[in-house]
Chain A
Amino acid sequence: MSKIIVVTSGKGGVGKTTTSASIATGLAQRGFKTCVIDFDVGLRNLDLIMGCERRVVYDLVNLVNQEASLQQTLIKDKRVDNLYILPASQTRDKDALTIEGVARVIHKLKQNEFDYIICDSPAGIEKGAKMALYFADEAIITTNPEVSSVRDSDRILGILQSESRRAKMDEEPVKEHLLITRYNPNRVQEGQMLSVDDIVDLLAIPLLGIIPESQAVLEASNAGKPVILDDESNAGQAYNDAIARLLGEERPHRFMEAQKKGFLKRLFG
């Protein structure tokens, strides 16, 4: 049975695409047949982060409109076995997607025995975001330690609880996971930024992981290589921990402590 996981946030630019790429890659590395779908129709970006932008021929909208087959549309990752990318259309808008159309795509993926389907949601709470979360079994709520991101995450939780397929069918609710990204422990320690505890208190959902603010993320996207493949980096390791927890393992949270500063910095804060 395929498990469908949406990576969502409400707010834009918090790290959904970065997260979708790394979570999908990490699951495939562990042997699960995984497909990551870019739902950001009109603003395709997952292909760049996954490094397959030059191999896109057909896209999600072609597939929804039955203009191409699943085999023609899926891009097989060159680095990791079991990993497939389903790119968004760049020329259409989000109205090109319908629940029935997306349902057909999901059904085909299930027939092809995918273990995990990761849905990279667009920002906002409009049609595109609702389409991305509709079929979800689980949701990774991507949140930055910042007021508007936390509020928008709460908004999107409300939508998951009322407008997802599981909510509408009165099934067991979508399982929610909090992923705090771009976390900067130094600024938390100085009281300039909401802490992990603050955010967990406010949103009251289980914590999947904390991804530190890291230069490695920018370098990874420059290279078109999901940051999880950079296992030297803090961010890569944090994504790895998050996947282990997603699969039920218990791991202590890391990267929450402020780095020791040099003498001059310590003196002048």
Chain B
Amino acid sequence: MGLLSLFRSKSSSASLAKERLQLVIAHERTNRGSPSYLPMMKQDIVSVIRKYVEIDEDEVQVSMESDENCELLELNITLPQFGAGGTEDNGDIKG
């Protein structure tokens, strides 16, 4: 190690790179197995909900997770507020 590197912090830029990669790769791996019909199914779900309430497409999040013995479809739908000053209705439907 050179004199200058004594002053360099031990938590190097390479370890920062590794941490960031760990997060992003883990995230991308969970999305990897998701079936190709997922975006279309999301469209259909949005149009069903729109029969009853006005929502934006990006207020519906659909994701798929799987562990050893089952696949879990997770729906996260943010509904708009009821009337003026009403409390926000945040419907979490999981199944």
Contact = CB atoms under 8 A, between A and B. Distances in A.
B20 A267 contact: no
A151 B12 contact: no
B12 A202 contact: no
Contact of B14 (A155, A198, A269): A198
A190 B20 contact: no
A172 B25 CA distance: 24
Nearest to B7: A269
B57 to A, nearest CB: 26
Given A188-B14, A192-B12, A198-B14, A268 B29 contact: no
Nearest to A197: B18
Contacts of B14: 188, 191-195, 198
Contacts of A268: 2-4
B16 to A, nearest CB: 9
Interface in B12-27: 12-15, 17-18, 20-22, 24-25
Contacts of A265: 2
A151 B3 contact: no
A158 B12 contact: no
Interface string B2-45: 11110010101111011011101100110011000000000000
State the majority secondary structure of interface residues on B.
helix
A81 interface: no
A202 B25 contact: yes
B1 interface: yes
A266 B20 contact: no
A162 B22 contact: no
A202 B22 contact: yes
Interface string A190-217: 1111110010011000000000000000
Contacts of B33: 162
Contacts of B17: 147, 194, 198
B20 A269 contact: no
B7 to A, nearest CB: 9
Interface in A111-159: 147, 150-151, 154-155, 158
Given A158-B32, A162-B32, A191-B12, A147 B21 contact: yes
A202 B28 CA distance: 13
A239 B76 CA distance: 50
Contacts of A155: 28
B2 A191 contact: no
A269 B5 contact: yes
A154 B2 CA distance: 35
14 contacts: A150-B25, A154-B28, A158-B29, A162-B33, A190-B12, A191-B8, A191-B15, A192-B12, A193-B14, A194-B14, A198-B14, A269-B1, A269-B2, A269-B3
What are the 7 A-B residue pairs with the smallest beta carbon separation, nearest first?
A191-B12, A269-B2, A269-B4, A269-B5, A158-B32, A198-B18, A191-B14
Interface of A: 147, 150-151, 154-155, 158, 162, 188, 190-195, 198, 201-202, 261, 265-269
Given A191-B12, A269-B5, 5 more contacts: A151-B24, A151-B28, A191-B14, A202-B18, A202-B21
Interface of B: 1-5, 8, 10, 12-15, 17-18, 20-22, 24-25, 28-29, 32-33
